[in-house]
Structure 1
Amino acid sequence: KYLNGHSDIIAGALIGAHDDAHWAKLRTIRAQLGTILGQTEAWLLMRGMRTLFPRVAWACRSAQALAEKFAAHPMVAEVLYPGLPSFAGHAVASRQMKGGFGGMLSIRVKGGERAAIATAARVELWKRATSLGGVESLIEHRASIEGAGTPCPPDLLRLSVGVEEAGDLFDDLDRALKRAHNA
């Protein structure tokens, strides 16, 4: 999804050793099923890849800024983002992730599930959708998407950061948090 950046195709690549048995099986499945992009999708992918590096760099910077601001927010119980020292996998992420920690983060909203759902319903700049890697910033109440029995915490909001200004994104979500808590 990040390769294209416009939330209108899904594409990728499988890479393996030519003499690997598992890779040979995947090549056979690919040949039998015809899992090859159509020409329009390939063109869209090529178009989107022209802006991949600046889009990802922007999303990483914005996500880091948002994570830091929400970590100090009085209505946020926890921020899950590998760029924060408080994140359980921060040491590993620091070794493995060069140039940023990604454009995805999650926040756990104080007040539980009801406050999280109410917050997501009150944003204006963020789009309520399930996806990632696009130019628009998305918010979702993940437990509602996954359904009953999910291990996802009910107070968690998943954020996919796009190319909007980080300050505008923060202000919008801050207003939504305040409105949800005052409702």
Structure 2
Amino acid sequence: MSDEDVVSILRNWTAGDLGSLAASLGVLVHRLATHPDRQEVTRAQVARGEHDAVEAAIEEVLRIDDPFVANRRRTTREVEVGGRTIPAGDRVLLSWTSANRDPLVFGDPDEFRPEENAEQSLVFGAGPHVCPGRALTLMELRVAVSALLSRTDQLLPTDEPPVRERPPASGWARAPVVLV
């Protein structure tokens, strides 16, 4: 591997991990606080120990409000996308947020359908670029969400409006909630 490849991998494995978890947890807590029906279902799943269902719900919430905006790649060969030819070696920007909200793939991108959308979700990438930490990340987020829901009766939004992160970051810079 080139030095550039090693640096890229290390950057993603170190700085990306903590920031990604924090951004993801903020998205999840905000969603639960602002969607009491989803909070009730997830609470019940946590109480019954339905780990797979909780992780599927987490991944679907992250698809709907993706904290991972984009990724850069370099084409390895000439390719045609959307009627446009991209030469080999060109840099491209993959918009995960746009891809995960594509109505041609997901129908109504705001509709919560974890079972139907799981195969098409790109929250953790796909193919040779799939996130090697996907399973660990989902487990960490499930443990955090489970601990929060099992130790509270309700998560409520406050009167203070949430504030989005500024690009190139995504998620919430501030999303105040009340724990009851």
Shorter-chain TM band: 0.3 to 0.5
| Larger helix proportion of the pair | 2
Question: Which has the higher relative contact order, 1 or 2, with Cα contacts under 8 A spaced 6 or more apart?
Answer: 2
Greater radius of gyration (CA): 1
The TM-score normalised by the length of structure 1 is 0.32
The TM-score normalised by the length of structure 2 is 0.33
